[in-house]
């Protein structure tokens, strides 16, 4: 997923990035590492340049993950503890929500998407990775792995609120986005899809 974001230049020229449900700050770590590789000439042929955001912010529910992000990324890191259902988003050029929305109920998902749209300018980017509930066994496998990982990370057992990729696209359209979908499960047993949405 992180490779695909770089390979397709999805976050290129996005000065302000907001990562909702950012966990331990993997996206920001990845972006920092990518920029170092790019500047050292250690970069795959044919890929666009590494993104050079002015600021990457993150909001994460679990304090332990926020502490880990700060320990790894240092004092310049703008990851704060909060609940994306009510935390202020401010404004951003790109909002990223990777493997998070299914922890929220349907109404909360809708509210987060409406607030994300309000935080973005016209043509602002929203990247969402979801599990495609219409993908049969691969989807069920993804769900089991997800539940197991979240239990291991200290979350209470959760009911997951999933939709098919088509339903996610319809919801995003209703919230003011135009959407492209890219399968993200190549070579794996998962049913992940990256939705690339632009504010219209
Ligand atoms: C599967 S992890 C993905 C983490 C990160 N997006 C990544 O790709 O590395 C899901 C994350 O969403 C966070 N999360 C779930 N519900 C949240 C909420 N209401 N507000 C903020 N974070 C939330 C969890 O604590 C967890 O860190």
53-111: per-residue pLDDT in tens? Answer: 999 999 999 999 999 999 999 988 999 999 999 999 999 999 999 999 999 999 999 99
Spatial contact of 200 and 176, defined as CB atoms under 8 Å apart = yes
The alpha carbon of 23 and the centre of ligand 1 are apart by a number of angstroms equal to 5
Torsional sign, CA 189, 195, 100, 175? negative
Tokens standing for residue 16: 């302000």
Q: Which domains does the chain have, with CATH numbers?
A: 2-199 (3.40.50.150)
Q: Decide: 60 and 23 in contact? Cβ < 8 Å.
A: yes
User: Which residues approach ligand 1 with their CB closer than 6 A?
Assistant: 21-23, 26, 59-62, 65, 83-85, 98-100, 103
Distance 186 CA to ligand 1 centre (A): 23
Q: Which band of pLDDT confidence, cut at 50, 70 and 90, is reported for residue 185?
A: low
Single pTM value for the model:
0.94
Distance 165 CA to ligand 1 centre (A): 20
């Amino acid at each position: 997923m992180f490779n695909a974001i770089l390979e397709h230049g999805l976050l290129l020229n996005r000065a302000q990035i907001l990562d909702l449900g950012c966990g331990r700050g993997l996206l920001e770590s990845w972006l920092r590492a990518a920029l170092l590789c790019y500047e050292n000439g250690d970069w795959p042929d044919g890929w666009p340049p590494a993104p050079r955001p002015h600021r990457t912010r993150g909001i994460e529910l679990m304090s332990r993950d926020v502490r880990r992000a700060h320990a790894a990324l240092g004092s310049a890191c703008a990851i704060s503890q909060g609940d994306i259902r009510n935390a202020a988003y401010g404004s951003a050029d790109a909002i990223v929500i990777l493997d998070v929305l299914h922890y929220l109920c349907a109404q909360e998902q809708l509210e987060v998407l409406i607030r994300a749209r309000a935080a973005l300018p016209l043509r602002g980017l929203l990247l969402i990775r979801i599990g495609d509930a219409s993908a049969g066994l691969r989807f069920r496998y993804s769900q089991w792995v997800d539940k197991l990982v979240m239990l291991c990370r200290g979350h209470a057992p959760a009911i997951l609120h999933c939709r098919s990729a088509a339903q996610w696209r319809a919801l995003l359209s209703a919230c003011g986005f135009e959407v492209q979908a890219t399968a993200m499960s190549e070579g794996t047993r998962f049913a992940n899809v990256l939705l690339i949405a632009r504010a219209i």
